[in-house]
Structure 1
Amino acid sequence: MTMLVTGAAGFVAAALVEEAARRGETVVAVDRTPPPPALAAAWAALPGRVRFAVADVLDAAAIGDVLARHRPAVVVHGAAITAGPAREAAAPAAILETNIVGVARVLEAAKAAGIGRIVHLSSASAYGAAAYDGAVLDEEATPSRPESLYAVTKFAGERTALRLGELWGIDVRAARLTAVFGRWERDTGVRDTLSPQFQATAAALRAGEAVLDRPGQRDWIYARDVAEALLALRDAPSAAPVVNVGPGREWSVACWCGLLAERFPGFRWRLAERGEAATIALHGDRDRRPLAAERLAAVGYRSAWRLERSFEDYMEWVAAHPALVAPSAAG
């Protein structure tokens, strides 16, 4: 089966392309900029076939041309701007265009090409202010109260995809991802706050120090875990319209820093003193509740990527690509 993935030169979508190609699949990787040489080389070394195409998701004609040339069976839409407050204030229209209008453009092109199934990458940020209430965040029971412009656009993009799917008879499945870290995460220019795991690992490569304002407990999920979950969601005969993608367990950034300290003797980490500024951003000033995982289990996926396994796999990747994590320390 051929799968088309938008935003493929970025982070999560790049990990998805890698996992599918690892399984021997043919993937059409679409992005507005070519992948970095390291990513292209990694794809080329895998059993599957990755065909890269340059196209902007805001250009329905260009996306339509790629679909017509490669005729994929399914589309995974991952292109987005993961904006922070500064970008929200400086370029709101660009965020709205990519994260909402871009969804409509891709759906328009998919409809014209006769695509029957689309997996849309949404975000747990769609829960917004409700993310700190209750035991778990449930797709039905937990309301969506997005606050940041990124969260608003991810929720609106998700709703746009589902509505157009309903109107046009396309099987659209929205995957609400919890906080992701791991392989191929780097500064791409469209992710304003990189994961705490990335930040701490970069500090470790520089033999520096990481200062946390709190332990940072959350249901963090590794990029390969997400990729495996998305492929299960893609392949399931049926699925709920919105499915949380989380590991079903929690651990802390402090635990990650502890593993880094064992691996890198020059690295130090600690909790901030009163009034001291942290050096690691933990994606907000509170720890979000974990995502319910029952709907993901219903499509046949249960995470096997615990903290230690994720750490070892990521360290192997970091050793091969140190310049993508900490250019100043790569030598």
Structure 2
Amino acid sequence: MNDGVADDEPAAEAVGGPANVLITGGSGFVGMAIAEALRTRGHRAVLFAPAPSPLAPMLAGPAIRFVAGDVRSAADLGQVEALGISHIVHGAAITPDAGQADALAERVTDVNVNGSRQIMELARRLRPRRVVQLSSVSVYGEPADDNLRCFEEENAPVGPQSLYGRTKLAAEAVMREQAKAYELPLSILRLGPVFGPWEIASGSRPVVSPQCQIMEGALRGEASALPRALQADWLYSRDLANWIVTLLLETEALPPVVNLGAGRVTSVDDWCRALQAERPDFAWGIDPDAATIRSNYRRDRPPLCTRRLDALLPERQQTALADTAADYLAWAAEAFPRETRTA
């Protein structure tokens, strides 16, 4: 299946030419941000997902192809075998909230773990230059030691406490085992909390970031009440996508596991101040008893350690907090025109 792209799109060129990157979870938040970054740099993306995102028209063009399918299905994944895939980014996953975890446990486990196994079987056939799995800070769980300064890739205790975290950790193990057996170049990128363009609520991601909830409310003229300041190493989606593309395509050697975090702790309260500077009519406050903004994080956690990322991308660009508010607002005003905003 194709979304706004001619079926005769050429296959990826030889090493050194434009990449043609398969992105599973291609209708999701991070997948679409990566596709945008690839297109900006002159590369191409094949977005693989059960259905395109409602935001897909914003990425339509010859550099982006959509293929419909289930990541658990070898037959569905087989549709991409003739497309000249040069690299794979595996991001397909279901992120249930606490209320959905029991009801969706079997499906979440199947998609997150068995889907990862199917991707490595596909990679065995395609022999891409690199495979990266998008994992999550959730594999670390919540630390028992309140004095833990940051989550390190090798030294931090790994103890996921949610269904999502447990399945992501299991997916890591499955993909590592197959990468070793099939001699595939695999790296696992553990993502911290992300916000910004391309995020919308979906069946796979029912609870969006606080910033997304706040932005949608602000566009409707609504005030926001936070449960607390919500401190974290919040990472802007366009920064994350650019870093992933650089690691995927331009970094000679990647460690087996790399944390991708902002390297700085900010709060959603801070971000609300930046948003108000751009939109003076926006109002917010902190009210634990009457919060209108949901968060998947029950309490503030340590940030991801970024020493490996610092060594790999010492001169990486990172958007200032105030600039994320301005950029995100401009994107959201285009993505969610007034007539389509949720009442």
Provide TM-score, normalisation by structure 2: 0.89
- Corresponding residue for 2:51? 33
Spell out, residue by residue over 1:168-218, the C-alpha distance to the aligned partner (whole angstroms, 9 max, x if none).
Answer: 100111000001111110012211211010111122112222111211111
> Aligned match of 2:32 in 2, 5, 14?
14
Q: Does 1:246 align with 2:264?
A: no
Indicate conservation of the 8 Å contact 2:139/2:160, yes or no: yes
- Corresponding residue for 2:132? 119
Give the aligned length.
322
> Aligned match of 2:155 in 117, 129, 141?
141
Q: Does 1:233 align with 2:251?
A: no
Offset, 1:267 = 2.5
Q: 1:272 to 1:9 in 2, by over 3 A?
A: same
- Corresponding residue for 1:101? 114
Offset, 1:324 = 9.6
- Unaligned runs of 5+ residues in structure 1 are none
The structure with the greater share of residues assigned to helix is 1
Provide TM-score, normalisation by structure 1: 0.92
Q: 1:325 to 1:19 in 2, by over 3 A?
A: farther
Q: Distance in 1 between matches of 2:339 and 2:138?
A: 25
- Corresponding residue for 2:72? 58
SS in 2 for 1:203: helix
Q: Distance in 2 between matches of 1:218 and 1:168?
A: 37
Q: 1:324 to 1:70 in 2, by over 3 A?
A: farther
Q: Does 1:283 align with 2:300?
A: no
Offset, 1:326 = 7.3
- Corresponding residue for 2:284? 269
> Aligned match of 1:75 in 84, 88, 95?
88
Offset, 1:90 = 0.9
- Corresponding residue for 1:260? 275
Q: Distance in 1 between matches of 2:21 and 2:277?
A: 40
Indicate conservation of the 8 Å contact 2:275/2:326, yes or no: no
| Superposition map of 1:86-235 within 5 A | 86-130=99-143, 133-235=147-249
Amino acid aligned to 2:214: A
Spell out, residue by residue over 1:71-106, the C-alpha distance to the aligned partner (whole angstroms, 9 max, x if none).
Answer: 211100011101111211111000001110000011
Amino acid aligned to 2:118: R
Q: Distance in 2 between matches of 1:60 and 1:324?
A: 41
Q: 1:76 to 1:133 in 2, by over 3 A?
A: farther
Q: Distance in 1 between matches of 2:312 and 2:194?
A: 20
- Unaligned runs of 5+ residues in structure 2 are 1-18
Q: 1:305 to 1:326 in 2, by over 3 A?
A: farther
Offset, 1:277 = 3.0
Q: 1:283 to 1:326 in 2, by over 3 A?
A: farther
Amino acid aligned to 1:55: G
Q: Distance in 1 between matches of 2:205 and 2:339?
A: 14
After TM superposition, which residue ranges in structure 1, 4 or more long, deviate above 4 angstroms? 323-326
